[in-house]
Amino acid sequence: MDRIEAVTPHPGPGEATGRGSEDPAAEAVISLRGATLAYGDRVLWRGLNLGVRPGEFLAVVGPNGSGKTSLLRVLLGRQQLTEGALTVLGHPPRRGGRHIGYVPQQTFQPAHSLLRARDLVRLGLDGHRWGPPLGRRAVRHRVDDLLASVGATPYADVPLGRLSGGEQQRVRVAQALATDPQILLCDEPLLSLDLHHQRTLTGLVEERRRSAGTAVVFVTHEINPVLGLVDRVLYLARGGHRVGPPDEVMTSTALSELYGTRVDVVRVSGRIVVVGAPDGGTGHTHADGEDGGEGP
């Protein structure tokens, strides 16, 4: 379908729309200006203006192939913008930025893997260097503290392949927090998790945000588990986008303008259900796979 950029009728403070009404605050830890990402003739998003502040929780939602995971690749310095400007913590993004934590999409380890939970967390501290300047004892204490912070101490020495999906995700959160990040990027961390483990994981992320003022960019197909935590939503849809508080973005009027056709947003028992999106469904009532194969 043709690209549609929606304009919020009455933008509020710190709100962005598809036509770029936002002027990111100087304190923003992430600042996108006129950002466009395309693969050849296929535009994922265009003219995106966005400033993410310390301690802000931004949910990134939308259908498969809309560029959600690709946005994280850009923020991580793994993908270049087609047009526009980006700064992360005041500088152009670069791979391996120490002050950015990253929770990837869940990938199950084979049962025969010898990599333990504590080994994965340690990789978050020193990459592939086994014997960092901190010293082995200091590193071990730090790893123990991180595992304890996410409730993973009981299986610290268990191979990853023997852990459940929820247990593996706890360990990945601990790994992401290893360098005390100012920004936490989460790529579909709730996939394949039951409701109990979804609540546990979102609670860990929320605790980090509140205790350390860490900005969170949370890519998800399923917005309902994080709806009560979100400050703003970035909705991506086939070249268009909309940014703002959930009550302004997740509405029939806003999404109908974005898609250029009738879309109904229904609230049922505090949950959001999106009906009629022409991309084959937005997936806000279930988790249904990766972002069009755009993994980091």
Confidence category of residue 277, pLDDT binned at 50, 70, 90: confident
Confidence category of residue 273, pLDDT binned at 50, 70, 90: confident
Report the Cα 143 to chain-centroid distance in Å.
24
Average pLDDT over residues 182-196: 91
Say what the pLDDT of residue 38 is: 93
How far, in Å, are 221, 260, 273 from residue 237 at the CA level? 12, 11, 16
Say what the pLDDT of residue 283 is: 45
The CATH fold of domain 30-275: Rossmann fold (3.40.50)
E strands, the chain, are 30-39, 42-52, 57-61, 83-88, 100-103, 183-187, 215-219, 232-237, 240-244, 264-268, 271-275
Say what the pLDDT of residue 114 is: 87
pLDDT digits (tens, 9 = 90+) for 121-142: 998 887 644 444 567 888 899 9
Number of H helices, E strands in the chain: 7, 11
Average pLDDT over residues 227-233: 95
pLDDT digits (tens, 9 = 90+) for 81-120: 999 999 999 999 887 667 899 999 877 777 778 899 999 9
Confidence category of residue 54, pLDDT binned at 50, 70, 90: very high
pLDDT at 240 over 90: no
How far, in Å, are 38, 48, 131, 132, 175 from residue 126 at the CA level? 34, 34, 8, 7, 11
Residue that wins the pLDDT comparison between 8 and 204: 204
Confidence category of residue 2, pLDDT binned at 50, 70, 90: very low
Confidence category of residue 279, pLDDT binned at 50, 70, 90: low
Residue labelled with tokens 């290893």: 178
Task: Indicate the average pLDDT of the chain.
Answer: 82
Say what the pLDDT of residue 134 is: 60
Average pLDDT over residues 221-241: 90
The reply to whether the predicted model has a pTM over 0.85 is no
| Percent of the chain at pLDDT exceeding 90 | 56
Radius of gyration of the chain (CA): 19
